[in-house]
Amino acid sequence: MERKKEHSTDKAQLINTLGAFCGQRDILNLTQKSLKNQYGIQKADVFVLFGGSILEGGNVLAEAIRTQVADTYIIVGGVGHTTETLREIARQNCGEIETEALTEAELFHLYVKKKYGLQADYLECSSTNCGNNITRLLGLIQKNHIKCNSIILSQDATMQRRMSATLKKYVSDKLLIINYAVYQAHVIEKNGELIYREHPLGMWDMDRYITLLMGEIPRLRDDQNGYGPQGKNFISHVNIPQDVECAFEMLKHAYADYVREADSRYASE
């Protein structure tokens, strides 16, 4: 029994290693003080919430608007592999919102408006994956002549680093990209079970969270099978630390079936 407990604890630590790497945050919190301390700016030009996030993303967007960390607020998200889960959680938490036909951007917009009386400046409702999340965001910015020398990206923690690497592929180094993952999950072992220490709103069940994390490392790799320049060339090069690679390889022994393949239904046209 003791050996099983130690094994579970080891798995929790390995999962947290992946989660900390994927869920990048470049500032301590969403405040003008944090931006000033870290980057010497009072505000970013643009704040973007991506619809692949759990519902907690709506609370993060509201906080960003409340603390005035940007001049322009955008929500990006059409229909993708996370949409139905988001709709279901929204129904459970906001019964007055009819979610069936809503895109992710529309759903977050309504959630923030109804709960906080706040709203984003622009919605992009046609994107279906990380790649066209970025290209259509950039198209919206260009079309509306939005000043964008600095941008805060807020995405589900499992996909935050990949979203940033996708943007870096399309823009020059002059654009300041600031990452702020929607949450920072910490997994612990309790009574032989893996659980979350805190539970952000709409958090994935544990199996889904592990599946999303396990799917990220092969995507982030810059090799013939990854998304980097030497592979599919969807993202800029990402340096994956050795401890992250080791955690992934060790977890594969327990979660070999959890490495999520891309869903062709949401591929870019």
Q: What percent of the chain has pLDDT over 70?
A: 91
CB 26 within 8 A of CB 180: yes
CB atoms under 10 Å from CB of 250, counted, come to: 15
What is the model's pLDDT at position 99?
72
CB 97 within 8 A of CB 70: no
* The Cα angle at residue 119 between residues 113 and 120, in degrees rounded to 5: 145
Instruction: Look up residue 80 and give its two tokens.
Output: 């993708």
Where is 209: in which H helix or E strand?
A: helix 206-220
End-to-end CA distance of the chain: 52
Q: If DSSP codes are grouped into helix, strand and coil, which group holds residue 195?
A: strand
- CA 152 – CA 46 distance, rounded (Å): 6
Of the listed ranges 80-84, 118-122, 197-201, 265-269, the one predicted with least confidence:
265-269
What is the model's pLDDT at position 91?
78
Enumerate the CATH 1.10.3620.10 domain ranges in the chain, comma separated.
2-23+203-255
User: Per-residue pLDDT averaged across 125-131, rounded?
Assistant: 83
CB 14 within 8 A of CB 247: yes
Query: At a CB cut-off of 8 Å and minimum separation 6, what does 46 contact?
Result: 70, 71, 72, 73, 74, 141, 146, 147, 148, 150, 151, 152
Return the CATH number of the domain spanning residue range 2-23+203-255.
Answer: 1.10.3620.10
CB 201 within 8 A of CB 175: no
What is the model's pLDDT at position 260?
54
Q: Tell me, what amino acid is at 188?
A: I
What is the model's pLDDT at position 258?
67
Q: Is the pLDDT of residue 166 over 90?
A: yes
What is the model's pLDDT at position 259?
67
Instruction: Look up residue 247 and give its two tokens.
Output: 């955690």
Where is 215: in which H helix or E strand?
A: helix 206-220
Instruction: Look up residue 54 and give its two tokens.
Output: 């759990």
Q: Tell me, what amino acid is at 7?
A: H
Enumerate the CATH 3.40.50.620 domain ranges in the chain, comma separated.
32-179
What is the model's pLDDT at position 92?
78
Q: Is the pLDDT of residue 89 over 90?
A: no
- CA 22 – CA 157 distance, rounded (Å): 6
> pLDDT digit string (tens) for 211-255?
999 999 999 999 999 999 999 999 999 999 999 999 999 999 888
Chain Cα centroid distance, residue 130: 10
Element counts in the chain: helices (H) and strands (E): 9, 7
> pLDDT digit string (tens) for 149-162?
999 999 999 999 99
CB atoms under 10 Å from CB of 239, counted, come to: 7
Q: Which is nearest to 168 in space by CA: 155, 185, 153, 189?
A: 153
User: Per-residue pLDDT averaged across 119-124, rounded?
Assistant: 97
Of the listed ranges 84-93, 102-111, 182-191, 241-250, the one predicted with least confidence:
84-93
User: Selecting from 3.40.50.300, 3.40.50.620, 3.90.640.10, 3.40.50.970, what CATH number does the domain 32-179 have?
Assistant: 3.40.50.620
What is the model's pLDDT at position 94?
73
> pLDDT digit string (tens) for 103-114?
999 999 999 998
What is the model's pLDDT at position 3?
37
Q: Compute the mean pLDDT over every residue in the chain, rounded to the nearest whole number.
A: 90
